[in-house]
A and B are shown apart, each in its own frame.
Chain A
């Protein structure tokens, strides 16, 4: 089954053509590595897939159904979760508030007067973060946490929302080597156990080789390569990424 299909996606920011007629499809349960030089259009593509940006032209299908997301909220309803390159955390808010923002848990009350179940949110946040071998002061403002802790909060928040499609945009950059390895193993586990389809952007090509089933290379907003991870070597990928004379 095809989980996600993009058809001739183009994105212009004024004069800048960030994406030019990009098409691809990804089977359910597969992990796609999205690579390319800075400015290639990787983040833009993910932002379109998660509803944060609307493409200038082109269509997106999820499980063969045409979707036209007007906002991230629309995409979340369809089971798309993302960790943005710049994390999108509210620095002044606590870890648990960031973890549950947009999908708060409520208890007693009716309608808009439902009260938040703060204790449960704290408990679930603590449990989720522990899976990554971290323990974080849940009442601490996330602006005061380390880069690694912030990144884990942002990644765990996307994974724990139980998505069909998980998008990770450079979610390894702030992690230590062990942290990366642990996250890669965790993602593999999530992928196998819950059959989550993933698109992963990373500059760490070894990591991409190790984690993904498919690879797509973008250059200057164009799709240069799409194929099985097994079929290409790291050197070939680098070759695709480099600017052509």
Chain B
């Protein structure tokens, strides 16, 4: 009798742990259902696919931000990388660079910016907030200079293939690609030496150094990951929209910060589950969509996004207090 009792207790406990661990998913699902009462057609497959596709940008940016946060840093340059990388690559394509090389170049820009941010933060001891805001403005400013503010349309077909070719129904090729990238990132974070070390470095960098973990290198790799994910986000957005512009993706900076924070990624480093960041990203995406379609004018979106980030921070802080 007692044994059975303790068994069901431990099952109850593990269910509670599970719900506690994945509460972001629950929040997302609940909000989706509630929003469905207000927003028309939210349960149609067309709307669901639209949300899935639109959310890819925030989700990739949020993954990038998460890697920076895991090691106790922040990367504000992601939105600039998301505009700069595809924009400059497209301009080089116009100048004669073959499309495949231009596409590889997109990622390479992400890597280079990541290495630069990582080196400045680790070797020059510049706070990552200052460093990455400076890079954000430099890259955005550079794009403005070379484009004079004009958007680029007429992207090559091969570039847009991912966004335009549907694999099944209205699901474009970029969705399976996106899912694959997320899975690889999750495996990297959880199951590889470097991924796990990011958590350890964020948890206690001194202890890591004392145990022979190359802290600087791990941090630089984290910035490279955030740069690459930002570049991917920019590429995916351009493949979907069919254009690139200087102010591309800027509106997604706040959501990209809010998503990991809502998902419980610690802003002090060392803690965060990427699976929840997906839910966090779609949750924020959904809120932004509700605000847009909910009839409140466009002037409200910045304000609402600020409020979302703030509430996310409050929830996260409250949860961290509770768990201590």
Contact = CB atoms under 8 A, between A and B. Distances in A.
Given A52-B210, A72-B209, A88-B207, A104 B193 contact: yes
Nearest to A158: B211
Chain B interface extent, by class: 20 to 34
Most A-side CB within 10 Å, residue of B199, B203, B210 = B210
Contact of A90 (B188, B193, B194, B270): B270
A73 B214 contact: yes
A91 B194 contact: no
B6 interface: no
B191 interface: yes
B209 A116 contact: no
A5 interface: no
Given A90-B203, A91-B203, A93-B200, A84 B210 contact: yes
B271 interface: yes
A76 interface: yes
Contacts of A75: 212
A243 interface: no
A14 interface: no
B204 A91 contact: yes
Contacts of A2: none
B210 A88 contact: yes
Interface string A107-120: 00100111110100
B213 A73 contact: yes
Contacts of A50: 210
A72 B210 contact: yes
A71 B191 contact: no
B200 A101 contact: yes
Contacts of A76: 212
B208 interface: yes
Contact of B213 (A84, A102, A106, A115): A102
B196 interface: yes
B192 interface: yes
Contacts of B200: 90, 93, 97, 101
Chain A interface SS verdict (over half) = loop
Interface string B176-206: 0000000000011001111011011001101
Interface string B59-98: 0000000000000000000000000000000000000000
A34 interface: no
A87 B211 CA distance: 10
B192 A102 contact: no
Interface string A39-64: 00000000000101000000000000
Interface residues of A, number: 29
Contact of B193 (A73, A84, A93, A114): A114
A92 interface: yes
Contacts of A87: 207
A128 to B, nearest CB: 15
Contact of B208 (A90, A106, A112, A115): A90
B270 A115 contact: no
Interface in A171-226: none
Contacts of B197: 101, 104
Given A72-B212, A102-B212, A89 B207 contact: yes
A56 to B, nearest CB: 20
A92 B273 CA distance: 13
Contacts of A88: 204, 206-207, 210-211
Contacts of A90: 200, 203-204, 207-208, 270
Interface string B195-235: 01101100110111111111000000000000000000000
A104 B191 CA distance: 11
A73 B212 CA distance: 4
A222 B213 CA distance: 32
Contacts of B209: 52, 71-72
A239 to B, nearest CB: 34
B211 A102 contact: yes
A113 B192 contact: yes
A106 B210 contact: no
8 contacts: A87-B207, A88-B207, A91-B204, A92-B204, A102-B212, A104-B197, A106-B193, A113-B188
Interface of A: 50, 52, 71-73, 75-76, 82, 84, 87-93, 97, 101-104, 106, 109, 112-116, 118
Ranked nearest first, the 8 interchain pairs of A and B with the lowest CB-CB distance are: A73-B212, A102-B211, A88-B207, A90-B203, A102-B212, A88-B210, A92-B203, A90-B204
